[in-house]
Amino acid sequence: MAHKFKRFLLSALILPAHFIAYAQLLDTSSAHNYNPTDVQVQHMEDMEFLEDHETNLDTSLNLFYNYYPAYQNTFPFIDLGLEATPVLSLSQSNQQQLKLRLGADQMSPYFYNDKIHLYQTDKPFTRLNYSQGANEMLSIVATHAQQISERLSFGVDYRRIKNQNFYFSNLENFSRVRMGNLFNTKFYTSYYSPDRKYEMVTSYIWNRSKNVEFGGISSDSSFNAQIGRDKLNNNQVNYTNGLGTLAQNQFKLIQYFRPGGLSTDSTLDASLSQFDQQFFISSALKNERLEFEDKSPDSLNYGFSMLPFKDSSYHRSIENEIGYMKKIGNNSILSSVIHDFNSIYQNTVRETFQNVYFNVKGIFKLNKINFRPEAKLGVLGYNAGDYSIHGVALTSLNNSKISGGFLLQKVEPTFMQQEFRSNAVQWKNDFSKISVNQLHGTVSTSLINHSLEIGITAEKTNGIIFYQDENQIAQYNDDLSWLRAIISHHFTHDNFGSDLNLTFQKTSNQEVLPRPNTAISGNVYTQFRLFQKNLKVQLGVRSFWFSSFNSPKYNPYTRAWHNTNQSFESTPPIQVYTNAQVKSFCFGIEFFHTQQGLMGEDYYSSPGYPMMPRSLRLNIRWDLNN
């Protein structure tokens, strides 16, 4: 009897919810008009200069299936064949960060950066993204933002990626870990007083990545000779029991104090434009931990026999910044002092550093030209004598936008480039500072259904650091030139659309900075509406390719990409997809690597790392805002 009552109660709860959801989503009658919530994003960089600029959250259907962050931000790139594995960009600048860092950046495309943005919405907004494919290939992204009160807001961004490629199922103790396993969480809360003379923004970021570090296939020829499911359980790897972990967290508090303003006892003005100056204090506590373990070391990988081991590196920093910003007519200038205390542990060895930096930023407006310069100088500590000066000028002419900029910097190498302590390899270098000089410019224009953008970057680097062989690191103490041109074309029509990106680049020394000369990324689709134009449908195909070059290979225990003399040829994976949208609900199916077996079997994402096999992926995005 109790069991029947539970079933009745469950039905009573589920059925009304089902019909309500059906009514809101699928009922297109006038009784259930769809009114999407207006959601805008404000970046803290604008708030620094008392600007209220906001950008609308993208709600378009096209490209919503790009849940893989590296495809969005890093192409062209090489990886280990799986989502949430180490990535190397093949067209990025040699620009350095002027701060003390460990320097293990192979997972950067997946991690949320430490910049803060705020969602602005009148009603609570929740976006859910869900993607799933074969062999536990899963991606979940959730965003929620709402105003708790008129002056208090809260938001969270969450991302979860895991990918278990069955090609490598012969790893020992495989059941204890996912092959690609990543978590991202980012919270923020903002509050300001009624007259907005005081405002604070707090944020917390937590990132964690865990990967089986298999070191690549031992025998490419054996792998290539097999087809289809014969590849399973027949692929010996270089590391049979290696595991890598990277964890980060950061708590940050920014407080703004704004004298003056237009608010009075009878009138309250909550806009930022009412002020012409502000003081700010920023405090951040940051932690980063790296681990690598190998429970079954092979002497062929390390050059000598070893017992099972675990390496670790831990970096903790406490950063405080005090600054002042002043508007002078249409211009604004900001100056600040940054103090950064760092404590670094590597295999029981601890080192501490006290760093002090001066920072100056500005916005200068003359007619239609907007110039944004920034300069940072290291005064004390690890980065003493370092500098980074860059600026960007923007203007518009009819339907075109033009920008140009420069970069001048000389920066100390990262900590792990100077000092590395591992059971497998150790070094303590005295590398000189890395000098980077750059000029860049971009022209973009729009005409009816077309938009075209051309960007050119010319860069000269002296003292670039690169990894070589299996366990060596070196500095190239000479000038290295790098030239890149990117051409992007986008076409949109009622029934057709396309995105095409071409990258051309030239490096003066392929042994030090190996890069493909050409890369192409394309997406072509047709779109139409069904069921009284309430259902929007897309059918399309996309792919990417880059030319042959001597590709670097990932080394697990240095967590870096090492240069090789091994030629690598990209095999373009073809993705066929169909998307659909009704109101705020998007859904679709993507057939990844459609041509597997039709164009040979030797397809790789980087040397020794096969590309994911053909797989059907389901994608869903739902904005719960109505």
Three-state SS for 443-468 is: EEEEECCEEEEEEEEEEEEEEEEEEE
Rounded Cα distance, 331 and 277, in Å: 12
Range scoring the smallest mean pLDDT among 58-67, 147-156, 539-548, 566-575? 58-67
User: Tokens in use for 146?
Assistant: 């709402």
Angle at 427 between CA 425 and CA 429, to 5 degrees: 160
User: Tokens in use for 356?
Assistant: 């002090």
Mean pLDDT along residues 5-19? 44
**Per-residue CA distances from 223 to 144, 220, 231, 600 (Å):** 45, 5, 6, 12
Architecture of the domain spanning 34-624: Beta Barrel (2.40)
**Per-residue CA distances from 206 to 209, 248, 555 (Å):** 10, 6, 25
Rounded Cα distance, 86 and 560, in Å: 9
Mean pLDDT along residues 561-565? 93
Rounded Cα distance, 524 and 490, in Å: 10
Rounded Cα distance, 289 and 271, in Å: 41
Strand partners, 211: 180, 244
384 or 174, greater pLDDT: 384
Rounded Cα distance, 258 and 278, in Å: 4
Query: Would you say residue 498 has pLDDT above 80?
Result: yes
Rounded Cα distance, 361 and 515, in Å: 33
Mean pLDDT along residues 184-195? 93
Q: What is the DSSP letter of 364?
A: E
Rounded Cα distance, 285 and 427, in Å: 29
Q: What percent of the chain has pLDDT over 90?
A: 58
Query: Would you say residue 25 has pLDDT above 60?
Result: no
Question: Is the preceding omega at residue 109 within 30 degrees of 0, hence cis?
Answer: no
Q: What is the pLDDT of residue 9?
A: 40
Q: 210, 174, 185, 170: which is closest to 86 by C-alpha?
A: 210
User: Tokens in use for 557?
Assistant: 């225990």
User: Tokens in use for 211?
Assistant: 């990967």
Q: What is the pLDDT of residue 19?
A: 44
Rounded Cα distance, 509 and 50, in Å: 45
Strand partners, 159: 141, 184
Query: Would you say residue 1 has pLDDT above 70?
Result: no
Q: What percent of the chain has pLDDT over 70?
A: 90
At 487, the pLDDT band (50, 70, 90 cuts) reads very high
The amino acid at 378 = G
User: Tokens in use for 349?
Assistant: 């060895």
Q: What is the pLDDT of residue 405?
A: 97
Query: Would you say residue 12 has pLDDT above 50?
Result: no
Residue bearing tokens 């008009």? 33
Q: What is the pLDDT of residue 470?
A: 80
Q: 207, 199, 200, 145: which is closest to 182 by C-alpha?
A: 207
Instruction: List pLDDT tens digits, range 568-591.
Output: 988 888 999 999 998 888 999 998
Within 27-68, residue ranges assigned H as helices are 44-48
The amino acid at 546 = F
Break the chain into its structural domains and give their ranges.
1-33, 34-624
Q: What is the pLDDT of residue 220?
A: 81
Mean pLDDT along residues 192-210? 94
Rounded Cα distance, 101 and 97, in Å: 8
Please give the mean pLDDT across all residues of the chain.
Answer: 87
Rounded Cα distance, 553 and 213, in Å: 13
Q: What is the pLDDT of residue 233?
A: 63
Q: 199, 377, 361, 360: which is closest to 278 by C-alpha?
A: 199
Within 44-108, residue ranges assigned H as helices are 44-48, 69-73
Residue bearing tokens 């930023």? 361
Residue bearing tokens 């139409």? 528
Range scoring the smallest mean pLDDT among 34-38, 84-88, 352-356? 34-38
Query: Would you say residue 20 has pLDDT above 50?
Result: no
Query: Would you say residue 278 has pLDDT above 70?
Result: yes
Q: What is the pLDDT of residue 505?
A: 97
Contact 425, 417 (CB under 8 A): no
**Segments of 54-175 assigned E as strands:** 55-56, 77-78, 88-89, 117-121, 125-133, 137-147, 152-163
Strand partners, 445: 400, 452
Mean pLDDT along residues 187-216? 92
Instruction: List pLDDT tens digits, range 378-395.
Output: 999 999 999 999 999 999
Residue bearing tokens 């620009």? 95
Query: Would you say residue 183 has pLDDT above 90?
Result: yes
Q: What is the DSSP letter of 237?
A: B
Contact 355, 381 (CB under 8 A): yes
Q: What is the pLDDT of residue 256?
A: 96
Q: What is the pLDDT of residue 171?
A: 58
Query: Would you say residue 17 has pLDDT above 50?
Result: no
Mean pLDDT along residues 455-478? 94
Query: Would you say residue 283 has pLDDT above 60?
Result: yes
Q: What is the pLDDT of residue 237?
A: 81
Query: Would you say residue 435 has pLDDT above 60?
Result: yes
Instruction: List pLDDT tens digits, range 33-47.
Output: 666 667 888 888 888
Instruction: List pLDDT tens digits, range 510-560.
Output: 999 999 999 999 999 999 998 888 889 999 999 999 999 999 999 999 999
The answer, as to whether pTM is greater than 0.85, is yes
Q: What is the pLDDT of residue 18?
A: 46
Three-state SS for 596-623 is: CCCCCCCCEEECCEECCCCEEEEEEEEE
Which among 65-69, 128-132, 241-245, 458-462 has the top mean pLDDT? 458-462
Q: What is the pLDDT of residue 261?
A: 84
Residue 256: CB partners within 8 Å, gap ≥ 6? Answer: 47, 198, 199, 200, 278, 279, 280
Strand partners, 591: 576, 616
Rounded Cα distance, 359 and 381, in Å: 16
Mean pLDDT along residues 115-137? 85
Query: Would you say residue 21 has pLDDT above 50?
Result: no
For 566, half-sphere exposure in the C-beta direction (CA atoms, 13 angstrom radius) is 15
Q: What is the pLDDT of residue 23?
A: 45
